[in-house]
Each structure stands twice: as C-alpha cells, then as structure tokens.
Amino acid sequence: MALEALIPLGPGQPELEIALSGTGQAVTLDAADAESASEFAVWFVETMLPGESGAHLMELGAMRAVEVAAGLDADEVRRRLG
C-alpha cells in the first residue's frame, strides 16, 4: 500500500480505514458500512478525480459494483448498491 489512513466517522462509530494501492488504481475501505462507503466514494470522485469519468464502488462480499460519477449523491449510490 502506498498510503493508509483512519478517518473518524463520529462519536460511537468505528473509524473508516482506507488504503491506497501501490499503483494508485484502487482504494480499499475497511470497516465501512454502505453509508460511509458511499459518502467516501462520492467525496473521492468529486475531490480527487474532478473531470475524470468516475470510479467504481465494489462490495466484494456480494460481488456488486456501482459506477460513481460526478453529480451522483451518496443516497443514489446506496440505492444502486442495494
């Protein structure tokens, strides 16, 4: 991993652990629920990838993926993720 960080989610909630792969092509979220993962994905696309085509939020356990593009809000990402 090229970078690892902990993001506090708030009182009484676990921290969101993120890791950026060595190639910079993947961000892993650990201990993330659908709400925190979708909010992070929307922030990441809007802040880190402006002008890009977007990114995919994947839930590996269920083998589901949602394309996250600019203009999509976290509620819509969660709805699409199921």
Give me the average pLDDT of each 10-residue run along the chain (82 residues): 84 86 84 82 86 80 84 91 82
3 state SS of 79: helix
Instruction: Give the C-alpha separation, 81 to 50, whole Å.
Output: 22
**pLDDT computed for residue 26 by the predictor:** 84
User: In this structure, what DSSP letter does residue 35 have?
Assistant: H
**pLDDT computed for residue 31 by the predictor:** 67
**Which of 43, 70, 38 lies closest to 57, judged by CA?**
38
**pLDDT computed for residue 70 by the predictor:** 86
**pLDDT computed for residue 75 by the predictor:** 94
The pTM score is: 0.78
Q: How many CB atoms lie within 10 A of CB 68?
A: 24
Q: What share of the chain is helix, strand, coil (3-state, %, to 5)?
A: 30, 30, 45
**pLDDT computed for residue 76 by the predictor:** 94
